[in-house]
Amino acid sequence: MINIAVLGYGTIGSGVVEVLNTNRESITKRAGNELNVKYVLDRREFPGDPIMEKLVQDINIILDDPEIKIVVEVMGGVEPAFTFVKSALLKGKSVITSNKELVAKHGAELLKIAKEGEINFLFEASVGGGIPIIRPLNQSLTADEIVEITGILNGTTNYVLSKMSEEGLDFETALKNAQEMGYAERDPSADVEGHDSCRKIAILSSLAYGMQVDFEDIYTEGIENITDTDIKYAKAMDARIKLFATSVRGDDDQVYAMVAPMMIKANHPLYSVNDVFNGIFVEGNVIGDVMFYGSGAGKLPTASAVVADVVDAAKHMTKNIWTIWSSKKLVLTDINEVKHRFFIRVPNNLNGVLEEAKALLGEVEEVKAQGVEGEIGLLTCEIREESINEIKKRIPEILSVIRVRF
Amino acid sequence: MINIAVLGYGTIGSGVVEVLNTNRESITKRAGNELNVKYVLDRREFPGDPIMEKLVQDINIILDDPEIKIVVEVMGGVEPAFTFVKSALLKGKSVITSNKELVAKHGAELLKIAKEGEINFLFEASVGGGIPIIRPLNQSLTADEIVEITGILNGTTNYVLSKMSEEGLDFETALKNAQEMGYAERDPSADVEGHDSCRKIAILSSLAYGMQVDFEDIYTEGIENITDTDIKYAKAMDARIKLFATSVRGDDDQVYAMVAPMMIKANHPLYSVNDVFNGIFVEGNVIGDVMFYGSGAGKLPTASAVVADVVDAAKHMTKNIWTIWSSKKLVLTDINEVKHRFFIRVPNNLNGVLEEAKALLGEVEEVKAQGVEGEIGLLTCEIREESINEIKKRIPEILSVIRVRF
């Protein structure tokens, strides 16, 4: 029997306990050992829940108990999670986490401690909920040099954009709808402004390139400025707008990373990733394109990924599963240097504005959307980000700018 | 340095050598050791190819060389591959293979030998080419009871069906096109008749349920009877026809497995898997739906999966990576008992035939396709396979029967 402690009995923590109970038999078989939740750490009380028997409020009870071999951290946030996780690893306990803030900030350091202790620090659930992506990156795509990772990594924003597209809702109404469905928090800013996706692409990029990608360095734009008019233009082009979290390695081995809304067409593997689903597209230099799709959040899918990590830790009680993520910082390409095609909405009823925009943007295709008056869409060739910013400054009448990948 | 022997210098074998050379630096880093191809076994000569220096024609040179720690079998076919692989494992060498016939037939036995020897028998490339699916099933979906695995596992048939759908080609023309593109063999029967998909779903099912699923037990139907008229009806319903390889666990824990053309709509995760791409959909009882997508064949994608397995074997030189696949036979549900919705084409200009069909099929929806005369499509409710077979016997005028998943 292997004893486990679960830190945090919120949605995911209670999901972990539920999954361990529901699939006890097959999990025991796969882990080669029975997995027993000995403690659950939470400040709250849960009257009537059988978990009360295992509830503790002092982390030291867990840290000081030599019977605890695996600690599951599902509290979220950097502190006190970091202190608890680091202490557990230093005490020779393997740690599983679903905590993207913790992994993005301290992943390299915690992996190093785990390696030195011949134990494991695993975090499959920190990106893409239940979708297997961390383990495939670490263990399946090892013959490749990764050229690109692009994900729809946030279910809330994908739901909002899907509803705007399917039902013609404006941003506020779609967001309200997502909140009513329980898909968005009361304060949705971490999702909507792209910060959640940013942490996740920082983790994936660090693993893909084996070096520390600091999330603070990643250019991040949310979906809060996407309007129903933008969606109408996307439809006119048979395109969809998705919040992409992406990192791309250029021919010069320089990597750029960004989170931003992107227009894509049906030939892109992520085009069909709708509603709260997540999808992660990876291009390797020999494997070509692969894509992983599934529930990016939710109690049981996320708990499934956590428990799968627990099983892996149980199978590797005294052997570190090697993960290459050095603490050496990867200096990203200055975002100003990156080129994209852009879709730009410009008023066509203001004297000289459209003409000036066309003169500055070079060759463009005009796009019209049904029912939209007083403006026109322009689809540019590839232009540097810096140039677009200058053009936006010179023509403040520009209504919106969205990057395009087709 | 870890010495490797490659058995077979065909498309995949030469791809393996190429990938090891192309990404030498990153592969060495990830394997923790340099990987050196010491021998290549092939009866043929390759004048001018530097591989000639390493070419041997006698398997015993490889088997008897204690320096060879990993053997890569990419010859295909059951014999002599089975004898070579078994001998290598018994000599304490880990074996990597891309050979679906070998794995479907002897997987359980070879895994057992590997386990007893604390070495590894890995076969990621045997299903889905470069797509990571074997390792995710073994190591990532371990918290779940698998409820369903459904794949588009054969690129040739998917290409043929895609071309029929996109360009309105008939089956023969689309197949000829695939042969010209190098996507189909001169004798395409193993692909077209579904035998290739059958081996692959047998492997996936054995891993998902942990018991031996014999490919001979899997009901297998190919795409050779799909006509351009069937495609017209599919289009009329906004559906596509795909060759599905599927195994489903029912509420009674009974599993059925089959390979057959299936009509699906845009809400199915495999709907967008077109051309030579493969996709594998997995449903677990806690993770929900996940899907894996990529190149299902091709020299470099397949070689990428083989080399990733070599890296994993190199990282586990004296530790068996546990795979649950017992030799105990899983008795599949009699296919006659399985229920599906069916799409059935019936002449409507023959006295009494349509009326008889309707009387036997129960409630149906009528489907009309543009430009198709003298017949009508009927979409049934769920009906047992056995009943459909009886109806087909009683009404030999029925033009076609295709299963439906929507």
- Structural domain spans, chain A: 2-129+299-315, 136-295, 335-404
Residue A123 is given by DSSP the state -
Residue B303 is given by DSSP the state H
Q: How far is B145 from chain A (nearest CA, A)?
A: 7
Tokens for B129? 């080419």
In chain A, what is the greatest distance between 2 CA atoms, to the nearest angstrom?
77
B133 CB-side CA count, 13 A: 35
Helices (H) and strands (E) in chain A, counts: 14, 16
Question: Which single residue is written with the structure tokens 């992406």?
Answer: A246
User: Minimal CA–CA distance to B119: which of B128, B111, B109?
Assistant: B111
Contact list in B for residue A124 (CB cut-off 8 A) is 140
3-state secondary structure A6-42: EECCCHHHHHHHHHHHHCHHHHHHHHCCCEEEEEEEC
- Please check whether residue B27 is in contact with residue B307, taking contact to mean a CB–CB distance below 8 angstroms: yes
Q: Is B287 in contact with A269 (Cβ distance < 8 A)?
A: no
Q: In chain A, which residue's Cα lies nearest the Cα of B311?
A: A142
Candidates B19, B288, B310; nearest CB to A295: B288
Q: For chain A, what is the mean pLDDT?
A: 96
Tell me: pLDDT of A242 over 90.
yes
| Helix A100-116 vs helix A195-209: crossing angle, to nearest 10 | 30
Q: How far is B398 from chain A (nearest CA, A)?
A: 36
Q: Is B305 in contact with A210 (Cβ distance < 8 A)?
A: no
Contact list in A for residue B125 (CB cut-off 8 A) is none
Residue A392 is predicted with a pLDDT of: 97
Q: Is B289 in contact with A294 (Cβ distance < 8 A)?
A: yes
Contact list in B for residue A275 (CB cut-off 8 A) is none
Q: Is B295 in contact with A289 (Cβ distance < 8 A)?
A: yes
Give the number of other Cβ atoms within 10 Å of residue A399's Cβ: 15
Q: In chain B, which residue's Cα lies nearest the Cα of A209?
A: B26
Tokens for A338? 């990156």
Q: What is the spatial distance between Cα B287 and Cα A301, in angstroms, rounded to a whole number? A: 4
Q: Is B293 in contact with A294 (Cβ distance < 8 A)?
A: no
Contact list in A for residue B132 (CB cut-off 8 A) is 132, 136, 140-141, 290
Candidates A32, A145, A272; nearest CB to B272: A272
User: Minimal CA–CA distance to A350: which of A394, A401, A397, A390?
Assistant: A397
Residue A252 is predicted with a pLDDT of: 87
> What value of ipTM does the predicted structure carry?
0.94
Q: Catalytic pick from A69, A163, A200, A299?
A: A200
Contact list in A for residue B268 (CB cut-off 8 A) is none
Tell me: pLDDT of A29 over 90.
yes
Buried-state track A338-361, b at ≥16 Cβ within 10 A, e below 16: bebbbbbbbbeeeeebbebbbeeb
Tell me: pLDDT of B277 over 90.
yes
Tokens for B166? 């996109």
Residue B42 is predicted with a pLDDT of: 97
Q: Please tell me whether residue A345 adopts helix, strand or coil conformation.
A: strand
Q: Catalytic pick from B176, B200, B299, B328?
A: B200
Q: How far is B351 from chain A (nearest CA, A)?
A: 45
Residue B296 is predicted with a pLDDT of: 86
Interval B114-136: pLDDT, tens? 999 999 999 999 999 999 999 99
Q: What is the spatial distance between Cα B394 and Cα A303, in angstroms, rounded to a whole number? A: 52
Contact list in A for residue B210 (CB cut-off 8 A) is 29
- Please check whether residue A40 is in contact with residue A17, taking contact to mean a CB–CB distance below 8 angstroms: yes
Q: What is the spatial distance between Cα B367 and Cα B344, in angstroms, rounded to a whole number? A: 10
Q: Is B315 in contact with A322 (Cβ distance < 8 A)?
A: yes
Contact list in A for residue B139 (CB cut-off 8 A) is 135, 139, 308, 312
Question: Which single residue is written with the structure tokens 């797509």?
Answer: B131
pLDDT tier for residue B252 given thresholds of 50, 70 and 90: confident
Tell me: pLDDT of B154 over 90.
yes
Q: In chain B, which residue's Cα lies nearest the Cα of A302?
A: B287
Q: Is B135 in contact with A130 (Cβ distance < 8 A)?
A: no
Candidates B210, B304, B319; nearest CB to A143: B304
Contact list in A for residue B301 (CB cut-off 8 A) is 286-288
Q: For residue B177, how far is the Cα from the chain centroid?
A: 22
Buried-state track B199-221, b at ≥16 Cβ within 10 A, e below 16: bbbbbbbbbbbbbbbbbebbbbb
Q: Please tell me whether residue A405 adopts helix, strand or coil conformation.
A: coil
CA distances from B103 to B4, B114, B221, B301, B306 (A): 20, 13, 21, 19, 14
Contact list in A for residue B144 (CB cut-off 8 A) is 23, 26, 304, 308
Q: Is A143 in contact with B289 (Cβ distance < 8 A)?
A: no
Q: Is A200 among the catalytic positions? A: yes
Q: What is the spatial distance between Cα A133 and Cα A338, in angstroms, rounded to a whole number? A: 26
Q: How far is A317 from chain B (nearest CA, A)?
A: 13
Tell me: pLDDT of B297 over 90.
no
Residue B370 is predicted with a pLDDT of: 93
Residue A253 is predicted with a pLDDT of: 87
pLDDT tier for residue A140 given thresholds of 50, 70 and 90: very high
Q: Is A29 in contact with B210 (Cβ distance < 8 A)?
A: yes
Which of A74, A122, A144 to mutate to probe the B interface, most B CBs <10 Å? A144
Q: How far is A228 from chain B (nearest CA, A)?
A: 24
Torsion sign over Cα A158, A164, A170, A172: negative
- For domain B336-404, the CATH class is alpha beta
Which of A35, A139, A282 to mutate to probe the B interface, most B CBs <10 Å? A139
Q: Is A305 in contact with B140 (Cβ distance < 8 A)?
A: yes
Which of A21, A96, A124, A140 to mutate to probe the B interface, most B CBs <10 Å? A140
Q: What is the spatial distance between Cα B37 and Cα B16, in angstroms, rounded to a whole number? A: 10
Calculate ∠ Cα B140-B142-B145, nearest 5°.
125
pLDDT tier for residue A303 given thresholds of 50, 70 and 90: very high
Please, which residues have CB within 8 angstroms of residue A47's CB and are 6 or more apart in sequence?
none
Q: What residue type is assigned to position A278 of the chain?
A: N
First to last CA, chain B: 53
For the residues B157-184, what does the mean pLDDT come to? 95
Q: In chain A, which residue's Cα lies nearest the Cα of B281?
A: A293
Q: Is B135 in contact with A140 (Cβ distance < 8 A)?
A: yes
Q: Which percentage of chain A shows pLDDT scores above 90?
A: 96
Question: Which single residue is written with the structure tokens 């028997």?
Answer: A53
Q: In chain A, which residue's Cα lies nearest the Cα of B312?
A: A139
Inter-chain CB pairs, A–B, below 8 Å: 179
User: Minimal CA–CA distance to B142: which of A279, A349, A124?
Assistant: A124
Residue A217 is predicted with a pLDDT of: 97
Please indicate, yes or no, whether the overall pTM of this predicted structure exceeds 0.90. yes
Tell me: pLDDT of A296 over 90.
no
Contact list in B for residue A298 (CB cut-off 8 A) is 288
Interval A355-371: pLDDT, tens? 999 999 999 999 999 99
Q: How far is A304 from chain B (nearest CA, A)?
A: 5
Q: Please tell me whether residue A260 adopts helix, strand or coil conformation.
A: strand
Contact list in A for residue B288 (CB cut-off 8 A) is 130, 294-295, 298, 300-301
Give the number of other Cβ atoms within 10 Å of residue B42's Cβ: 18
Q: In chain B, which residue's Cα lies nearest the Cα of A132?
A: B140
User: Minimal CA–CA distance to A153: which of A184, A106, A199?
Assistant: A199
Residue B135 is predicted with a pLDDT of: 96
Contact list in B for residue A30 (CB cut-off 8 A) is 142, 322, 324
State residue A327 phi and psi, 5-degree precision. Answer: -80, -5
Q: What is the spatial distance between Cα A122 and Cα B354, in angstroms, rounded to a whole number? A: 61
Residue B65 is predicted with a pLDDT of: 98
Tell me: pLDDT of A142 over 90.
yes
Q: Is A286 in contact with B292 (Cβ distance < 8 A)?
A: no
Candidates A22, A29, A132; nearest CB to B136: A132
Q: Which percentage of chain A shows pLDDT scores above 70?
A: 100
Q: In chain A, which residue's Cα lies nearest the Cα of B24?
A: A143
Q: How far is B114 from chain A (nearest CA, A)?
A: 17
Query: CATH number of the domain at B136-295, out of 3.30.360.10, 3.50.50.60, 3.20.20.100, 2.60.120.560?
Result: 3.30.360.10
Interval A164-197: pLDDT, tens? 999 999 999 999 999 999 899 999 999 999 999 9
Question: Which single residue is written with the structure tokens 């879709």?
Answer: A343
Q: What is the spatial distance between Cα B262 and Cα A140, in angstroms, rounded to a whole number? A: 30
Q: For residue A225, how far is the Cα from the chain centroid?
A: 20
Tokens for B180? 């010209």
User: Minimal CA–CA distance to B402: which of B357, B346, B341?
Assistant: B341
The yes or no reply on domain A2-129+299-315 and CATH 3.40.50.720 is: yes
Residue A39 is predicted with a pLDDT of: 98
Q: What residue type is assigned to position B95 of the chain?
A: V
For the residues A314-340, what does the mean pLDDT come to? 94
CA distances from A304 to A73, A80, A143, B263 (A): 14, 24, 27, 31
Which of A304, A318, A322, A328 to mutate to probe the B interface, most B CBs <10 Å? A304
- Please check whether residue A205 is in contact with residue A149, taking contact to mean a CB–CB distance below 8 angstroms: yes
Q: Do domains A2-129+299-315 and A136-295 have the same CATH topology?
A: no
Q: Which CATH architecture has domain A335-404?
A: 2-Layer Sandwich (3.30)
Q: What is the spatial distance between Cα B79 and Cα B85, in angstroms, rounded to a whole number? A: 10
User: Minimal CA–CA distance to A211: which of A122, A326, A85, A355?
Assistant: A326
